[in-house]
Every structure is written in C-alpha cells, then in structure tokens.
Homo-oligomer: A and B are copies of this chain.
Amino acid sequence: MKLPNALYIQSGGMTSVINNTAYTIIKTIQKYPEKIGKLYAGIYGIVGVLEDNLLDISTLSEIQIENIKNSPGGVFGTSRYKIKSINEDFAIYETLVHIFIKYNIHYIFYNGGNDSADTALKLSKITQEFDYKLYCIAVPKTIDNDIACTDVSPGFGSSAKYIATSMYEASIDLKSMCKTSTKVFIMEIMGRHAGWLTAASAVWKNNDSDPPHICLLPEIPFNQEQFLKLVTNSVNKYGYCSIAVSEGLRDETHKFISHQNTNDSFGHTQLGGVASILASIIQINLGYKCHYAIPDYLQRAAKHLCSKLDIEIANAVGKAAVEFAIQHKNNVMPCIKKIQTNPYLYEIECISLDNIANVEKKMPLNFIDKENLTITSECKEYILPFVSGEVFPKYSENGKPIFISFT
C-alpha cells in the first residue's frame, strides 16, 4: 500500500518565524518514513492547491531546506482566500478532494491565524462529508497574538522584539535631539482589534520617564483631551514624548480613527494613517514638531532580529502538528500552555478548532492602564519572555541575508 502523503499550507499574513515552523514540519516528517510518504507544499497556499500547483519537498536540496528557516515571508507563498462551507460551495471541496486523491494526501498542516483556523475547520469536515480520510491540523501563526486557547501565537514574540527594540532606539534618538528639534515621535503598529504588539513596545518601560510614554490601544477608545494632556505632560517633564499607536485605534463611537476606503478579501477594512492624523492633532493643538514611523511589513518580516523563544515555539508547534497527524487527530491545533513565567516553561496542548476558529483573543483588561494610557506590570510580565534572547539569520559575505523563496 502506498504511504499517505501530507500537504503543508501557509496562509494569511506572514510572520518572521513561519518558515521555522515549515522547516520543523519538514524535518519531523523525515523522522517518520514509515508513516508519511511525501510532503507537498501549496504554492501560494490553498490557492496553489486549487490550481494543482504543488511543490514536492523531496525535490529540494538539503541546503535549500536549511535556508528555509533563515528566510522571512512565506517561502512557499501564502494567500488571503476565504473558502465557504461545504453547504455553500460544494464544488470547491470536490476540487480539493480530487487533488487530494491525485496526490494521495491524507494529512494537512494549515499554518495560519484565526481566519486560517476557520478554513482548517472547514477542511476537517471532508472526512465526514466525503468518503476520504483526512487529518487536518491547524498550526498557529500570527504576529497579532490574537489566537484563542494558546498562551502565545508563534510570530508574536519576534515582531514584539522588533517593535520594542525599534521604539527604544528611535526614542533614544529623539531624546538626544528634543531640546531644539522634534519633541514627539509616533510609531504606528499593526493590530486591528487587539493591542498586543502596541503593548509590546512598552515591555522594557520601568519608569514613567522611559519611552514610550503613551500606548494607544484599540481596546481603549481614543480621547483627544486625555491624549493631549498626557503628551503635554511628557514633553514638559521629560523633554519629549514617544507614542505607540495601534493601527486599529477607534473613537468612542467605535469608528477607526483612520481608515482607507479599501477592504481586503475577508471584509476587513485596510488601515493606515492613524500616525499622521495624531501628528496633525499634536501639531495643531500643541505646536510640537512631530515625526512618525510606519514600519508596516518591516515589523513582521524582520528576520534580522528574531526572538529566541518565539523561534523555539514556532518549532514546537511544527513538531507537535506532525505528531498529532500521526496520531490521526483531525480538526485540532497545537497550542501553548504556560507552566511558569520566569523562566518561561510551557507544554503543548491539543485543542479542537471549534474552540479556536473565528475567536479573537483580546488583551485582558488588567493588562491596560486606561488612566495613563500605558500597560500594567502584569502585561509586561506576560510579554517579557517573548522578547528575551536574540536569533540572527545567516548573512553572505556581501552583507546580504541568505533568503530563499519558492514562489
């Protein structure tokens, strides 16, 4: 009998460490030659599967495979493509099953965030609806840290480390020149509904004088009066003010402070521009010279500064996913269960996607200091392990990082 094959799919927005998970899945499968035959990757994720565009991993050289874990983005390509339920779009499932039969695929590793967990949940129904054995494992990944049932999402720690480091560096620069030049620096940080990454910018803040002085989170409606008061206070007391703002900041009527008029394919409003709006508010009302940074993709692609624990966790979920598949689990995700904070200890739990798909993990209210627009010590204690320890990629002689891509 031919051994069942496996399919790996990258999905949604990328993280700095998703390819570490991909690498671990490849290497773990290699340890079970009696259980799993070939591993295929969907080129551009599920879209590649639908187009019969699969890459046979066994055709890659050992050097190519080693370079996967060194690369940002998604080496096999990803997609933002929402599939409907079997009841709504039977045809797409027929196409998928046709491909699965063609390639003898019985294991799926669906590496993504909330929306992807929903897709994986839908795919997991194939086993019941069709006469076809399929073990579908969702593998967590998102910089937003908003996946339910897991203490942390792989990808968050490295983006958090990049954001915290960049905020600290830019603030030290600002501090050195605030006497005669710019007084306010604003950094616009990714996060539509959950302020995890914006919160991370303050993870090393020990005193009121340390930057950032203000964190504007999507969880707390923007109040201009309070904001301007805190900016003034910071400039008066410390000579400057550093501000971290989440792209998803909303006003008291729940409307985004800034949004572009375009939507992505999931119906999410595409955000951008809140930093420039805040800079205008400050310049008009207080007259301070402002600068703002929008790291955008840089914060989720910064392979040049990854977190050690984040990479460890990205590897751990990859390994667990293969083990779950071999145990013939379906409709599950390996999640992180914290055992101890300092030093951080965890174990992997197997959680049903019914509990995860389409649930968004928000920041606990005791993590937020609403009055001073900053984060609490509980929040810092939670985030700290994920920004500790550095992992750098390999560089070639001319300084170019050694990256690989199969798209």
Contact = CB atoms under 8 A, between A and B. Distances in A.
Nearest to A299: B293
A73 B168 CA distance: 10
Contacts of A204: 398-400
Contacts of A307: 399
A174 B297 contact: yes
Given A295-B298, A390-B399, A401-B168, A305 B303 contact: no
Nearest to A14: B173
B291 A293 contact: no
Contacts of A14: 173, 176-177
A177 B292 contact: no
Interface string A285-303: 0000101111111101111
Interface bracket on A: 35 or more
Query: Is chain A's interface secondary structure helix, strand, loop, or mixed overall?
Result: loop
Contacts of A301: 166, 169-170, 172-173
A295 B302 CA distance: 13
Contacts of A239: 407
Contact of A169 (B13, B80, B303): B303
A47 B176 contact: no
A198 B80 CA distance: 30
A175 B400 contact: no
A61 to B, nearest CB: 19
A161 interface: yes
Contacts of A71: 172
Given A80-B181, A175-B407, A180-B81, A388 B392 contact: no
Contacts of A305: 304-305
Nearest to A179: B44
Contacts of A161: 399
A366 to B, nearest CB: 21
Contact of A405 (B72, B77, B176, B265): B176
Contact of A291 (B289, B296, B390): B296
A185 interface: yes
A72 B273 contact: no
11 contacts: A14-B177, A73-B177, A74-B173, A77-B175, A77-B176, A80-B177, A169-B298, A185-B297, A293-B298, A387-B399, A390-B392
